[in-house]
Amino acid sequence: MIHKIKALYDDGDGLSIRAIGQELDLSRNTVRKYLRQDEAAIEAAQTFRARSKKLDTHRDYIAYLLHRYPRLSSVKIARKLRDKVGELDASQRSLRRYVQHMKRTVASGQPRYYEPVLDMVPGVQCQVDPGELRDVVIGGTPRTVYFVVFVLSYSRLAYVGLRFKPLDTAAFIQLHDEAFRYFGGMPEECVYDQTKMVVINEQFRELTVNQRFHEYAATAGFRVQACRGYDPESKGKVEAGVKYVKQDAFYGDTFADEAELRGHVQQWLDDVANVRIHGTTGRQPRAHFEAEERHQLRGYLTPACIARDTDGLATRQVDKTGLIAWQANKYSVPMAYQQGRVGVRADDTTLQIADLESGEVIATHSLCFDKGGVQRNRDHYRDHEQHEADLEQAIAAQLGASLGRALCQRLRASMPRHYKDQLGAAKRIIEAQDNRDLAQLETWLEREGVTAGLLKQRLEAARQARARGRATDDTVPPAAEAASLDLTPYARLGRPAGQQEVTHGTT
């Protein structure tokens, strides 16, 4: 534009300033400004286009803030600047653009440390991540699709397993089985985030692994590796895969039924995902896998626990009270399975509960068709009455039928709510005593309030008295005998020595 102005003016021999302005649609002042500049000034202006900005005076402070707090917003930077220097001579938009420019040019702290990752070794690692996508149209109805993405870290070969209800540990394991059979083998380790289907708890990088999943992993023969909490970037290969599945496999398509969706995903894996040129490796995942990784995978056989799960058995966790949940009701199992896992199979009227290892049926219940019901089999729990009867027989065997029965009756009368505990304590106390110390037991039972604690105290007192050679009869003397005792020597006990009687007379 400047050169056009100079050429049209031609050192005064060409067009006038007004005509040049009309020709180039510029104001006369603009034309006049550039005509006054010499060639050197114009070249310098073109070479050094950067202009000083009003916020340059605060550049060092903004750079300091960005270095310490790299995610600081321009709004908060403006607030800090106003607190420091007062009102700014720049708009919020200008400040935002200035901060954005500085974030691109000024070195600042990073939220975490990154360094390049060397190429993976073939056959070693598979990254696994579950996902879900809502509003997938299946049969004309928006539904939520649950899926798990498996990506081999070396070749980037992927598999996607589908479910149409929320994932649990059993479904998660079955999808692993599908993936390993699709790959034709198994890697040495699988990497997960801290989902409860794999990791129950983590402290100091010490993992408490889901017992059911650990059983499967140990049986199949692969290691379980978990990312740090809230750190999905440490398994970024599969994180990108989950986004890819959502945006490319599902989004923008509708399906007649679940079978059509499964077929679509399988076709997408074979014709799109695993044959594209991968952006990182620069190779097709399928060709890369066949050439360098397939022969490095370990052999894989479906474990027996998978076969049991797919043989019509659903798995349930037994709670600490020996109950499992099934269709909004609870059913009991033998207490040997307390806080373990069992298999469940139901027909129209009956619920069968089986041992997951042997497949043996351990409990059978009639199905409850209400909600919130509890079906309990008394044989699955301790028989408290039988336990009390056994304790009563043990006490009678030690003391004799008559005396044992009398002691049990007195214990029941004293503490009926804790009768079983009293019987157990009395049995242990009697077993620990010498028969000679039990001689006064029949007399003691005539008193009120017999408990196991008092029984222990009296037997201990009798043992100590016998050890000192004293009589063991601690019965209280009758009232008449106590009244005939001469207590005169004790009459002056408690009076101070030298006490005198004072008599006050009248004056």
- Per cent of the chain over pLDDT 70 is 79
Statement to judge: residues 348 and 456 lie in one domain: no
DSSP-derived secondary structure letter, 440: T
Statement to judge: residues 359 and 406 lie in one domain: no
- Asked whether residue 469 is domain-assigned, the answer is yes
* Residue 379 clears pLDDT 80, i.e. is over it: no
* Residue 114 clears pLDDT 60, i.e. is over it: no
pLDDT digit string, tens, across residues 419-445: 888 888 888 888 877 666 566 677 777
- Per cent of the chain over pLDDT 90 is 19
pLDDT digit string, tens, across residues 390-422: 888 888 888 888 888 888 888 888 888 888 888
- Asked whether residue 487 is domain-assigned, the answer is no
Quote the pTM value. 0.48
> Could you tell me if 127 and 227 are in contact, meaning their C-beta atoms sit under 8 angstroms apart?
no
- Report which residue type is found at 491: A
- Asked whether residue 483 is domain-assigned, the answer is no
Statement to judge: residues 395 and 364 lie in one domain: no
- Asked whether residue 442 is domain-assigned, the answer is yes
Look up the domain containing 395 and give its range: 384-473
* Residue 285 clears pLDDT 90, i.e. is over it: yes
pLDDT digit string, tens, across residues 221-232: 999 888 765 555
> Could you tell me if 78 and 95 are in contact, meaning their C-beta atoms sit under 8 angstroms apart?
yes
- Asked whether residue 13 is domain-assigned, the answer is yes
* Better-predicted residue by pLDDT, 223 or 490: 223
Mean pLDDT of the chain: 79
* Better-predicted residue by pLDDT, 61 or 3: 61
* H or E element, residue 203: strand 199-203
Statement to judge: residues 180 and 227 lie in one domain: yes
d(C-alpha 343, C-alpha 458), whole Å: 54
- Asked whether residue 303 is domain-assigned, the answer is no
- 262 — pLDDT class (breaks 50, 70, 90): very high
Query: Cα 160 to chain center, whole Å?
Result: 24
- 234 — pLDDT class (breaks 50, 70, 90): low
Mean pLDDT for 233-256 is 79
Mean pLDDT for 347-374 is 84
